[in-house]
Amino acid sequence: MNNARLGIPLMIATTFVFAVQDGLSRYLASEYNTVLVVMIRYWFFAAFVVALSASRKGGIRRVAATSQPLLQITRGVLLVAEICVMVIAFVKLGLVASHAVFTSYPLLIAALSGPILGEKVGPRRWVAIGVGFIGVLIILRPGFSVFAPEALIPLLSALMFAVYGLLTRYVARKDSAETSFFWTGVAGAAAITLIGPFYWEPIIGNDWWIMGLLCLTGAGGHYLLIKAYAVAEASTVQPFAYFQLVFAAAIGLTIFGETVDLWIVLGAGLIIGSGLFTLWRERQKSQGA
């Protein structure tokens, strides 16, 4: 099934919800410890995953069944760690700069697909990857802030997410998407709960409402994403995932008073252009072109 007219709006709606989630995370993590914020968010996410799995035919036992539990657990732990790193980036750099650098993750997936999955990366895709990382360097300002630790935080997050994405591809050879989704939520929640209580602090006043909204946007965004991939092919809707940068930038500018300069626009343009070309080449390759 490839209903692009429905899948594309669903993907755009997904990116909007996730951008709102990022804005809420940025606020809460500036007031409370990042691990605490992500842990509470993951508790709700895990409950959503378990409830969704229980509603499927065969229930949780069938959905959770896997022949590669260590890889699935590794994926879940890696994703929750990546989210913590990215939320720290939101606080240190802001939504605009963080997302501009994070958009390089499809290029990292393409670059690492050879050594991790054994996929062949052609010369044209290598050129696109190189151009994309020129965009990253433009954003990070070579010789000025590229060596500042906070400037590298979103790049680390992108690298972690790229490895997570490749592991997801790998386990998909044996496990269904719903099985991987189950382990993503449950393993991640279990992992962060091991350390989260040590960072517990009271959440005061209306911040509980914001935390609740954060949890709802997390579950809602994943639900929309599942629906988008259910009605349309990934190669059709994936390019529209870049709308998250647009929405996140709008939130950063209007709510948090962030700024966008020419270097961020130029760098992000190179990254997105390179990423779209890489996605297009992957689609051509899958079609035997």
| Listed residue (70, 154, 162) closest to 116, CA to CA | 162
Average pLDDT, the chain: 88
In the prediction, which pLDDT does 145 show? 44
* CB neighbour list of residue 105: distance below 8 Å, 6 or more residues apart: 158, 159, 161, 162, 165
Residue with tokens 């988008």: 228
Q: Which of 70-84, 138-152, 273-287 has the lowest mean pLDDT?
A: 138-152
* CB neighbour list of residue 79: distance below 8 Å, 6 or more residues apart: 161, 164, 184, 188
Q: What percent of the chain has pLDDT over 70?
A: 93
In the prediction, which pLDDT does 128 show? 84
**Mean pLDDT of the 13-36 span:** 96
In the prediction, which pLDDT does 146 show? 41
- The count of other CB atoms within 10 Å of the CB of residue 286 is 10
In the prediction, which pLDDT does 144 show? 52
In the prediction, which pLDDT does 154 show? 92
Length of the chain: 289
pLDDT at 239 over 50: yes
The tokens describing 259, both together, are 């700024």
pLDDT digits (tens, 9 = 90+) for 82-101: 999 999 999 998 999 899 89
Q: Is the pTM of this model over 0.75?
A: yes
Task: Please state, in angstroms and rounded to a whole number, the distance separating the CA atoms of residues 99 and 242.
Answer: 10
Q: How confident is the model at residue 142 (pLDDT cuts 50, 70, 90)?
A: low
pLDDT at 136 over 70: yes
C-alpha distances (whole Å) from 10 to each of 87, 106, 235 are 24, 20, 14
pLDDT at 271 over 70: yes
Four-residue CA torsion sign, 81, 82, 85, 87: negative
CB hemisphere CA count around 250 (13 angstroms): 10
Please provide the DSSP assignment of 131-164 as one string.
Answer: HHHHHHHHHHIIIIITTSHHHHHHHHHHHHHHHH
